[in-house]
Amino acid sequence: MTPGLLEAPPERGPVTHRPNGPVPPPPPPTGGGDGPEREPWPRRPALDNLRLAVLFLIGSESMFFAALIAGLFVLRLGQPLWPPPFQPRLPVGVTGVNTLVLLASSVTMVGAVRALVRGEENLLVKRLVAAAGLGALFLVVQGYEWARLIGYGLTVSGGAYGATFYTLIGAHAAHVFGALVWLGATLVLASRGRFRHGRTAPVKACAMFWHFVVGLWPILYVAVYLL
């Protein structure tokens, strides 16, 4: 018979008991790997494919933003004064409130996943709508502040201050927008009742990425606005 195309797990051999216990294990293999033991069996992975993948996506995105933040610090340490003189100041207060809005969306997302686990579908949809609404509000306020800053003369080509601000905050806004699209798709599927019968991984994966883009924002707020 062809090795490998086993039809079924082979049955165990006759166990010849000894006074001191079961038969000693067969000699260890010579070619690497750990020794043969009980019949192989499909493992239950600790985390389903989707959430594992989102975890690695978050790792990759973290490196992307780490490079941007490192760039910001390198540039600002090379400047005698930061923020540079004769440049508009960033709206720390409004953005601080906006930070709270985004953090609140993460809280509602936690509630949404809790509702999902409990099987309360209406509550899930409501909380997803609330999270998406808060996220959208954050983006709108950010866009409004951007428009005002451009009006005050903070431009992307006017020097390191504007360049770093627009690149970092723009990269984050793009991620919030992407997460919002993902959340919208999840919301549509949830309202159609696609996450019943324990099929919870897609919502949880979406929530993981949402928490990532939310959790990233306070770091950027401190690095770009406050420091």
Partner 1 sequence: MSATGATAHAHVGHAGHHELGFIRTYIFSTDHKMIARQFLFMGLFMMIIGGLLALVVRWELAWPETAVPGLSMILTETGGILEPSQYNMAFTMHATIMIFFVIMPILAGAFGNFCIPLMIGARDMAFPVLNMLSFWVGALAGVLMLAGFFVPGGHAAAGWTSYAPLSAVPEYTGVKWGQNLWCISLFVLGISSMMGAINYITTIINMRAPGMKLFRMPLVIWSLFITAILLLLALPVLTSGVAMLLFDRTLGTSWFKPSGGGEPLLWQHLFWYFGHPEVYILILPAMGIASEILPVFCRKPIFGYHAMAFSMIAIAFLSWVVYGHHMFVSGMSPALGMAFTVTTMIIAVPSAIKTFNWLGTLWGARIRFTVPMLNALAFVSMFVIGGLSGIFMASTPVDIYIQDTYFIVAHIHYVVFGGSIFGAFAAIYYWFPKMFGRMTNTVLGHLHFWPTFVFFNLTFFPMHIIGVGGQMRRIYNPMQYEFLQHQQHWNVFITVSAFCLGLGQIPFVVNFFWSLFAGKKAPLNPWNSNTLEWTAPSPPPHLNWGPTLPMVYRGPYEYSSPESRDDWLPQTAPPVTAAGARRH
- Name the residues that contact partner 1, by CB under 8 A: 1-10, 13-14, 16, 23-24, 26-27, 29-34, 36, 39-45, 47-49, 52-53, 56-57, 59-61, 63-68, 70-71, 74-75, 78-79, 84, 156-164, 166-167, 171
Q: How far is the CB of 144 from partner 1 (least distance, A)?
A: 21
First to last CA, the chain: 71
- In the complex, the smallest distance separating the C-beta of residue 224 from partner 1, rounded to whole angstroms, is 15
Is the Cβ of residue 128 or residue 154 nearer to partner 1 in the bound state? 154
CA distance 225 to 40: 55
Identity of the residue, 87 or 142, whose beta carbon is nearer to partner 1 in the bound complex? 87
Between residues 122 and 157, which has the closer beta carbon with respect to partner 1?
157
CB closer to partner 1 out of 81 and 93:
81
Provide the minimum distance between the beta carbon of 197 and partner 1 in the complex, in angstroms, as a whole number: 12
**CB of 47 or CB of 222, closer to partner 1:** 47
Smallest distance, partner 1 to C-beta of residue 76, A: 9
The Cα-based distances of 179 to 53, 55, 113, 209 in angstroms read 15, 14, 16, 7
In the bound complex, what is the minimum distance in angstroms from residue 123's beta carbon to partner 1?
26
Considering the complex, state which of residue 19 and residue 40 has its C-beta at the smaller distance from partner 1: 40
Q: In whole angstroms, how close is the CB of 100 to partner 1 at the nearest point?
A: 28
Chain centroid to CA 166: 22
Of 112 and 210, the one with the shorter C-beta distance to partner 1 is 210
Token output for 1 = 């018979």
Cβ 91 to partner 1 shortest distance, Å: 21
